[in-house]
A and B are shown apart, each in its own frame.
Chain A
């Protein structure tokens, strides 16, 4: 009945676990997804061409800031903002702390041994997330404007597949931004007593509203990430004449 296996408690070495499920699948998929996006978006930003076609403008280049003094692709003038928003986003932080930093890679799996300082010292800038939020809110407006413009073709109003893709892009990004934890704090999360604070009830409603998106923040994070890349790719391929934009109306 007995089998003598000595095990040492409590410390476990790096990646050691007694979990028998495929705990590594999650962090692996996350790394693949994030790396794929980083590579593609960096490549696309360097291209400095094929980001426009008809009424369509790639979100990597929106708003289009072309200056003579800027030698590189205009994408770099704006990409830092959404990149910063996502990098400091509470959801993405979880994602890359798990899949890249390996602190820890999964629950009850040995974390990477290191002098652990959490989000203090070097990572204290994560607290500036709210400033990226302010910018991201502006981007939501800009991308929505671009989405509206995408229905205005040279020969008048119309609907192309690209218009729909760009509209969805604006929707997904807005849904992602509306679920932001900093926004949730700002609109009402910082109130302790809604029934005593001024505009308390309204702030409670706003907090509730943001919470609706916040619950699925990771879902919106991924769908908007994928879609923004896909939107760029679509416009790029159309502009390169590899595919043709289909006019629905």
Chain B
């Protein structure tokens, strides 16, 4: 049976070392299998998050040979095994232990997003939405919150911009802003609270997304366009001032 070498980052609180382990490779194996093999045979206390093993829960995010990926969806046969496979924790988040990082900031940002505020039900007690109304946001709902996009985004990773929500939460806001039932106008907070302007659409979030969500093209850019329309378009601004006698930004009119 084939054997591969793995170099795994181990340590606590941002300081650590790379440890080398042998791994017995079997057919169809994924990187998470290898890490679990290491865990059960060589390093019982190796800290790593995982749950579903099928790319549905988004727990086993790590950097494999420098690339942010889900370990359970990275097949061994797509890696070159001539050199040791490097496994590191996500670098965009504060380190805890071994492959585990502190992702709590993501949950804090999520809490800042105002929840869906739906319009009333139809008289028959239902909500009527056509498939074409929800198709766009169903794509965003595919998000498994692996936070790889948050991790790879240079605004967070390299520049540590605190007032930037990050790709995961921008598409979450997009899924609310484009929701056919939602009645809130979320554009001002997108600009001022969630730092939409920090995104420079370099699309690394889209590149790493294991669910293949077109985060930038379908989520962030449309939001930028909406914000541009509301705040940066001189003609639209003129039109708004000429046609409305109140200065209030009207809530979305359904």
Query: Do A's and B's CB atoms come within 8 Å in the complex?
Result: yes
- Listed in ascending order, the chain A residues whose CB lies under 8 Å from chain B are 1-12, 17-21, 90, 93-94, 97-98, 101, 103-104, 107-108, 110-111, 113, 116-120, 123-124, 127-130, 181-182, 184-185, 189-190, 192-196, 201, 204, 214-215, 217
**A to B CB contacts below 8 Å, 25 in the list:** A1-B22, A5-B17, A6-B16, A9-B11, A9-B16, A10-B94, A17-B66, A20-B66, A90-B224, A94-B216, A104-B154, A104-B204, A107-B204, A108-B67, A108-B91, A111-B154, A111-B158, A118-B155, A118-B195, A118-B197, A119-B200, A123-B200, A181-B225, A192-B182, A215-B217
**Given known contacts A9-B14, A185-B229, A189-B225, A18 and B130 CB-to-CB distance under 8 angstroms:** no
**Given known contacts A18-B63, A18-B86, A193 and B254 CB-to-CB distance under 8 angstroms:** yes
Q: How extensive is the interface on chain B, given as a class?
A: 35 or more
- Listed in ascending order, the chain B residues whose CB lies under 8 Å from chain A are 7, 9, 11, 14-22, 42, 63, 65-68, 80, 83, 86, 88-89, 91-95, 128-130, 132-133, 152, 154-155, 157-159, 161, 164, 177-180, 182, 195, 197-204, 207-208, 216-217, 221-222, 224-229, 231-233, 252, 254
Contact in complex: A118, B200 (CB < 8 Å):
yes
Q: Which residue of A lies closest to B21 (CB)?
A: A1
Within the complex, what minimum Cβ distance (angstroms) separates B196 from chain A?
Answer: 9
Neighbour of A108 across the interface among B68, B83, B199, CB < 8 A: B68
Cβ of A117: which chain B residues have Cβ within 8 Å of it? 198
Neighbour of A9 across the interface among B68, B95, B133, CB < 8 A: B95
The 8 closest A-B pairs by CB, nearest first: A19-B66, A118-B198, A18-B66, A127-B232, A185-B225, A193-B180, A107-B204, A116-B159
Contact in complex: B254, A196 (CB < 8 Å):
yes
Cβ of B207: which chain A residues have Cβ within 8 Å of it? 107
Within the complex, what minimum Cβ distance (angstroms) separates A29 from chain B?
Answer: 16
CA distance A4 to B17 in the complex (A): 6
Chain B interface SS verdict (over half): mixed
**Supplied contacts A2-B19, A189-B222, 18 more A-B pairs, CB within 8 Å:** A1-B19, A7-B17, A9-B11, A12-B91, A17-B66, A94-B200, A108-B66, A108-B67, A119-B198, A119-B224, A120-B197, A124-B197, A127-B228, A128-B232, A129-B228, A130-B233, A185-B225, A194-B130
